[in-house]
Structure 1
């Protein structure tokens, strides 16, 4: 697995966590097995008695769907920005003006 694949897998794991309740059971199962449990397409196909191509198409479409949810709702983007702000706030504890700015940005995220 190269760095881009790893980054995509991590992102999809987060998107799955945020948006899985908006997916059908089949979509949840396929994404969970592929991204979280690292099943191969052929293993998922065998488990559900469908073609490898059907699994691939479903995972691709579902990935596009959760990316669309993220564009519209921004839960992952806000989560990552909050994490960044928490780290910046820790570093700015002795700089009240900077800390206030980070707190304001954090409040605005909500």
Structure 2
């Protein structure tokens, strides 16, 4: 998984555990695609300071994932649900009403 997607997933799960400053910088850089220079200018600090805050935030997010594993578990559950949907597509005609309902339940769980 690419870094941008991974950091955004980690932030979705653990972002509230960061400091308000870390939250703001991660949102501006990863969600709003602002450069380090743009963030630095907005806050009146150096690019290096922005870089340091972002690196620290990434490390904190990674540590939470290492200890709790919520993102990994979420991705695995999603993979299992997608596999189940695929297997349901191979069902026979007599089971179609039940299969349709199971598909609805799985799709609802994936949202």
* Normalised-by-shorter TM-score class: 0.7 to 0.9
2:65, 2:35 → 1: CA distance? Answer: 25
Return the TM-score normalized by structure 1. Answer: 0.78
Q: Residue 33 of structure 2 aligns to a residue in which SS?
A: coil
Map 1:1-110 → 2, pairs under 5 A: 7-93=2-88, 94=91
Listed as ranges, the gaps of 5+ residues in structure 1 are: 95-110
What is the total number of aligned residue pairs between the two structures?
Answer: 90
Post-superposition Cα deviations, 1:47-98, rounded to whole Å, max 9, x if no partner, equal 111110000011011101100100001111011001100011112234xxxx
Q: CA deviation at 1:43?
A: 0.4
- Point out which structure has higher relative CO (alpha carbons under 8 A, 6+ apart): 2
Q: TM-score, normalised by structure 2?
A: 0.77
